[in-house]
Amino acid sequence: MMNAMDQASDDAMMLATVDEFCRRHLPPDEIRRRDEVHLAPYDLVPHLAEMGLIRAGFPEEIGGLGLPWASMCRIQERLAYHTHSISSLLNRYISFGAMPIRFFGNDEQKARLLPEIFEGRVLVALALSEPGAGSDARAVTTRAVRDGDGWRISGRKTWISDADQADYLLTLCRTPGEAGGPKSLTSFLIPRHAAGIAMTPIPKIGNNCMPSWDIGFDNVHVADSDRLGPVGEGFATITGSLRYSRASVAAATIGTAQAAVDLASAHALERQQFGRPLVEFQVLKHRLVDMHIEVRKARLVTYELARVIDAGEPAEEIGAVAKIVATEALQYVTNHGMQILASAGYATESPMQRYWRDARLYSFGEGTNEIQREIIARQLGLFVPREKGLAKTG
Ligand SMILES: Cc1cc2nc3c(=O)[nH]c(=O)nc-3n(C[C@H](O)[C@H](O)[C@H](O)COP(=O)(O)OP(=O)(O)OC[C@H]3O[C@@H](n4cnc5c(N)ncnc54)[C@H](O)[C@@H]3O)c2cc1C
């Protein structure tokens, strides 16, 4: 393993490359244009691959660069400082495609798909949510039933990012009558262009560069070799790599939050009212300091999560804490950032309105913060075991 000083110098070089890439391909005017015309940065994926960012956090034995997750978090944070859309797309390549295949793919799937994902040639969309299965993710009703050597899949998924652009849809299906009994859930990597798939876009108020789709599966046939992981253990393929994605999401959130704080600070130093810069009104100066404190707290807990991951320690509780602290910090700073910029932030030419709109998603996307609190409560033992509860009432 590399020593801390060498790692810091490697990270500095990687971050300089990331800055250069963003300055060249995603300058502020281009970010604004893409947001206005809802243009996702799929065209920039070859650059992410060329910089080695998709493979960077994976072990060298499987084609990765072996970077610690703390370094991956620094990369995500820096990308998101420029624009959240590019760091979020990188995270989807890693968390929805490469990670589930790394942990649950068979040898053939790993050999075929991991190099393609690392090269940015294969994109996997996560098709978990359904009209009746949001927070209650296990309530999926999309069914997969055996059909000869393969399966037939019917049902509906909703709010699926990238679905139209993806090569595969990592789809959680109910497989009643299979291992796991009536509650059996199994995951499939459904080829996006399989017959019987229909998609419609979902218009929305933010994250314009991350297209969202509603998907109908009408008797879609897939081969058994398209199954990811064992029959009946599909839920694990979705949740098995959550610790990594929690850290990436939190790190990206901090990047955007820092950009909002910097923008608000620059505005408060420059804008004059009553003959003085806004920053000389103590209420605004202290608000900027409070914004800084929120981002600082989020950064501390996120890099603690990264340390825990790199040390191989249990990360469920700290992962949920980091997700909550970072996403709520982002909402705090974008809300107050908007107040400090006032009309200047409300104009579409200001990035502040985009930060503010986009920020609203993160406290309920990627696992709502209420469900994260449930996860923490469970880790703290704040629940009554069902049998005990029944005994009490019975
Ligand atoms: C822009 C966007 C992109 C998305 N991308 C994807 C994707 O790529 N793939 C995918 O599968 N899904 C995706 N989703 C779906 C997302 O994961 C869900 O929106 C999320 O899981 C919440 O589900 P819901 O919206 O149905 O809310 P609900 O489950 O209806 O929840 C409503 C509210 O009730 C609260 N609540 C529910 N149950 C409890 C409880 N037990 N205790 C306390 N509070 C509770 C929730 O926290 C929430 O505040 C995306 C959503 C959006 C908006």
List CB contacts of 279: < 8 A, sequence separation 6 or more: 265, 268, 269, 285, 288
What is the pTM (predicted TM-score) of this model?
0.96
Q: Ligand 1 centre and the CA of 369: distance in Å?
A: 10
Q: Is 366 exposed, middle or buried (0-12, 13-18, 19+ CB in 10 A)?
A: buried
**Position in ligand 1 atom list of the atom nearest CA 210:** 1
Whose CA is closest to atom 6 on ligand 1? 160
Distance 274 CA to ligand 1 centre (A): 45
Catalytic member of 366, 370, 374, 387: 366
Q: Is the CB of 172 under 6 A from ligand 1?
A: no
Kindly give the confidence (pLDDT) of every residue in the chain, 394 residues in length, as a single tens digit, with 9 standing for 90 and above. Answer: 677 778 888 999 999 999 999 999 999 999 999 999 999 999 999 999 999 999 999 999 999 999 999 999 999 999 999 999 999 999 999 999 999 999 999 999 999 999 999 999 999 999 999 999 999 999 999 999 999 999 999 999 999 999 999 999 999 999 999 998 888 999 999 999 999 999 999 999 999 999 999 999 999 999 999 999 999 999 999 998 888 999 999 999 999 999 999 999 999 999 999 999 999 999 999 999 999 999 999 999 999 999 999 999 999 999 999 999 999 999 999 999 999 999 999 999 999 999 999 999 999 999 999 999 999 999 999 999 876 544 333 2
**Which residue lies with its CA nearest to atom 37 of ligand 1?**
135
Q: What is the pLDDT of residue 68?
A: 98
CA–centroid distance, residue 137 to ligand 1 (Å): 9
> What residues are paired with 169 via a beta bridge?
125, 190
**Ligand 1 neighbour 134 (Cβ under 6 A):** yes
Pocket flag, ligand 1, residue 355 (CB < 6 Å)? no
108: exposed, middle or buried (C-beta count within 10 Å: 0-12, 13-18, 19+)? Answer: exposed
**Ligand 1 site, residue 339, Cβ cutoff 6 A:** no
* Residue 371 Cβ contacting ligand 1 at under 6 Å: yes
The three-state (H, E, C) secondary structure of 296-326, written as one string: HHHHHHHHHHHHHHHCCCCCHHHHHHHHHHH
Distance 314 CA to ligand 1 centre (A): 25
Q: Is 365's C-beta closer than 6 angstroms to any atom of ligand 1?
A: yes
Q: Whose CA is nearest to atom 35 of ligand 1?
A: 370
Ligand 1 and 118: CB distance under 6 A = no
Distance from C-alpha of 257 to C-alpha of 93, rounded to nearest angstrom: 23
- Distance of CA 63 from the midpoint of ligand 1 (Å): 34
217: helix, strand or coil: strand
Q: Is 366 a catalytic residue?
A: yes
Among 85, 88, 135, 358, residue to substitute to test ligand 1 (most atoms within 8 Å of Cβ):
135
CA distances to 291, 344, 381 from 183, in Å: 45, 53, 26
Spatial separation of the C-alpha atoms in residues 31 and 125, rounded to whole Å: 23
pLDDT at residue 393, as a whole number: 32
Give the pair of three-digit tokens for residue 384. Answer: 């009554």
